[in-house]
Structure formats: C-alpha cells, structure tokens
Amino acid sequence: MLLAFNIGNTSISFGAVSEEGLRFRADIAAHPVRTADEYAVLLAQIFTLHGFDPATITDVIIASVVPSLFNAVRAAVTRFTAVKPSIVGPGMRTGLQIRIDTPTQLGADLVVLAAGAKKHIRSGAAVIACLETATTLTVMDADGAICGVVILPGVASAAAALERDTAQLPQILLTPPKKVIGKNTSDSIRSGLLWGAAVQLDGLVERIAEELDIPAAEISLLATGQYADRVTSLCRHRFLRYPDLLFTGLRELHQLNRRN
C-alpha cells in the first residue's frame, strides 16, 4: 500500500493508494510550528479514524512546495511507518518532457498533476487547472510536453483580500450565484469572485489556444482542487473534473520509480 502526500501552502493532503485506487484521503492544516512528533500523532489519529492499519503501508511518496514544512512531515512519516519516503523532485523519473526556462523550478505539485493527467488524456495539448489557494494552469503542448504555467490568485485568496482591504463588505460563503448581476451585496461579491474566476479561466484557455496555434476545442481541459466544481461549472469551456488527480499522479510517479 502506498501512502501519498502533497504538502501545500494551506493544507497537507495525504491518502492510502492501492492498485485499485484511493482507499482513503485526509486533509490537515499546514501549520508551520508543528513538530514531527505532532504530525506523527495526527497521522496515527487519522488512520484510527478511518480504521486503517499503518502496517499495510509499504511505500511512501511526498510532494512538497513548502520547504519549511517538508522536513517535519518527512520525519513524522518515517517514525510513523518506518518507511523511507520517495521525494518528488530533481532526479526522479517523471516520464514528462518539461520545456520551460528552468525545469528544476517547476513546482512538485504541478509535476504530479501533469503525471496524473497523462493517465486521463491520450495525447495532445492539455490545460490542467488546479483551483486551491492559488489557481494554476499547467499547459501541455501538442507533443504532451509541459510548456509553461499560468499562476493567479485563488478564489479564497481573492475573497480574503476583499474582506481585509475593503470596509463594510461582509464575509460570505463561496457558493455560486444563479446570476451574474447581483441584487444584494453578498450575491454581488459571489458573482465577482466565482463568475469572475470562470471568465478568467475561459479567457485564459482562449489565449493559450492562440499561443499554441491549436483550436481551443482540441485542447483537453482538466480541473481539480477545492474550488474546481464551483468555478468550472460556470465556465463556457468544458473542464473534466478529477478531484483525486494529485493522488493519481503520485501513484504514477511511484510506479515509474519503484525498485523491483
């Protein structure tokens, strides 16, 4: 059984992955002052919550974009499972061509998403949208190579900025409004955040298609992340949603690098 981790800016996602797929997943807050012991205790509690035996874990893989958390989580995992984890980073085989200025600067999470996307698309150009703290669009060209990335503020980040920097605007729930034109303050904010994000995605897909010189209809569009459903359901372009794409990618990378 594979224990797969993705360490992000606001949360740490992990799950047990078998040959049949994801057995369970959990998300905990990414807390910069937690020690390895504290993370190990959380792991033990969550495994117990899911009724899952840690003894079944034979392999571990970790992807991280937060260096300050990485060492504590890796130490916790080693104590909890007694398994030395594989790390997504330079030196790991990915099966991907990366055509950007400095390939080593590509975030581990984006490498993982692209590896997962390969499982769902046959060939050709693709855009992988991940809607979390930030929204990222990882672009794969007609050869299936990663040719670049677009990064923009995520929906929740934009909402927090409005609340922090603007007087008299209420905190709202990020539920999609039925119409673009808001009739009250809450609906107006939701419209701006969610319809605005959808329009951004649609517009960026069109611009990406122009740069790749490929019709937008011929580009595979994949979406994942906490806000994927709420935003892409409002898009004019059709995104296929894969909530567990990160875990698919981690499993693919593990299989590619496993020692026989």
Structure tokens at 240: 């296929």
Contact 220, 125 (CB under 8 A): yes
Residue 76, Cβ density class (10 Å: 0-12 exposed, 13-18 middle, ≥19 buried): buried
CA gyration radius, the chain:
19
Q: Is the dihedral of CA 236, 239, 243, 245 positive or negative?
A: negative
CB count in 10 Å sphere of residue 105: 9
What are the residues whose beta carbons fall under 8 Å from the beta carbon of 126, sequence distance 6 or more?
A: 117, 139, 140, 144, 219, 220, 221, 222
Structure tokens at 95: 């099966």
Residue 141: active-site member? no
The catalytically annotated residue of 27, 53, 101, 109 is 109
Sheet holding 220-224, edge to edge: 146-153, 134-140, 126-131, 220-224, 240-241
Residues acting as catalytic residues: 109
